[in-house]
Amino acid sequence: MTTTDHFAIRSEPRLVPALLRMTARVSQRRAYRRTARELSSLTDRELNDIGVNRGDIARIADQAATDWAR
């Protein structure tokens, strides 16, 4: 076994969880942006119909992304 092989074997157990966390963060960020974009595209009247103010969009998008990650 060469030094390079030894490093690959030792780092692999840490690499997989790191990649999974990174993938989860990317997906969570996508959920946030998608929710914010969809709500931002609604008119004030449409937002009012569903009980949302424009100032609530970031909070709602954050909650949607957090819920998605669970």
4-22 pLDDT per residue, tens? 555 555 667 788 888 999 9
pLDDT given at position 70: 72
Residue linked to tokens 């998605």: 68
* Alpha-helix residue ranges (DSSP H) falling in the chain: 3-40, 44-49, 57-69
Residue 2, pLDDT > 70, answer no
Indicate the pTM of the whole model: 0.73
pLDDT given at position 31: 94
pLDDT given at position 7: 54
